Amino acid sequence: MKVKINDFDALIVVDMQNDFMPGGALPVPEGDKIIPVLNEYIKLFESNGNPVFFTRDWHPENHISFKGYGGIWPPHCVQDTKGAEFHHDLYIPSDNKFIISKGYSRDFDAYSGFQGTILNELLKERGIKRIFVGGVATDYCVKNTVIGGLNLGYEAFVLEDGIKGVDVNPGDSEKAINYMLSKGAVLINKNEVK
């Protein structure tokens, strides 16, 4: 399927933070391998004048998603730490880009970039109709951001070559992709986008 970027498209890059990369606190295997292709998408959207949204997990150090505080995850993406920073190879445009922090309150977690944020309002203000979503993890925050967007009425494209999953249980990422497709998302890769 060929897709031509129009004025009502936005790119959403999910959680490309050090803690989700190999060597980080909650690594997504090969999470860093998608950076070059994500950078291509980011530059394509930037050169077309389209906005790029970067979500980030932004947890307090006693966050409820952490082991020891009622959650299942090792502490990760603690506010203002190196682990919460974006991978330094990720290209961040200087203009028309937005950083969306989520999971920033101790007792509230968010796998979706829409939960507890103004992402929907920012997209609406700009007349965005279609979202293109890449990043990590396919089976958590990418999935929930895509589903959140579909539920809000956006058309959603999932960047097949720009996502990676954690697969806590083998097959989780594949299931997540099938679930997103069943809800109306469309899988695309870089060769199909102009």
Calpha distance 58→117 (Å, rounded): 12
Among ligand VGL, Zn ion, none, residue 137 binds (CB under 5-8 Å by kind): ligand VGL
Q: Which residues contact 124 (CB under 8 A, 6 or more apart)?
A: none
Single out the catalytic residue among 32, 141, 161, 164: 141
Is position 46 an interface residue for Zn ion (rule: CB under 5 A)? Answer: no
Judged by CB under 6 A, the chain residues 113 through 172 that form the site for ligand VGL are 136-137, 140-141
CA atoms within 13 A on the CB side of 70: 7
Is position 9 an interface residue for Zn ion (rule: CB under 5 A)? Answer: no
Rounded to the nearest 10°, the torsion over CA 179, 167, 155, 157 is: -120
Number of CB atoms found within 10 A of residue 149's CB: 26
Let me know if 95 is a catalytic residue: no
Question: What minimum distance in Å lies between the beta carbon of 5 and ligand VGL?
Answer: 25
Calpha distance 159→44 (Å, rounded): 13
- Of 172 and 192, which CB lies nearer to ligand VGL in the complex structure? 172
- Interface mask (CB under 6 A) for ligand VGL, residues 66-105, using x and -? -------x--------------------------------
Give me the residue label for tokens 């700009």. Answer: 126
Single out the catalytic residue among 102, 109, 139, 164: 102
Among candidates 115, 7, 91, which has minimal Cα distance to 51? 7
Calpha distance 56→67 (Å, rounded): 20
Question: What minimum distance in Å lies between the beta carbon of 44 and ligand VGL?
Answer: 23
Let me know if 102 is a catalytic residue: yes
Let me know if 141 is a catalytic residue: yes
Residues that bind ligand VGL (CB under 6 A): 15, 20, 57, 65, 73, 136-137, 140-141
Residues that bind Zn ion (CB under 5 A): 57
Catalytic center residues: 15, 102, 141
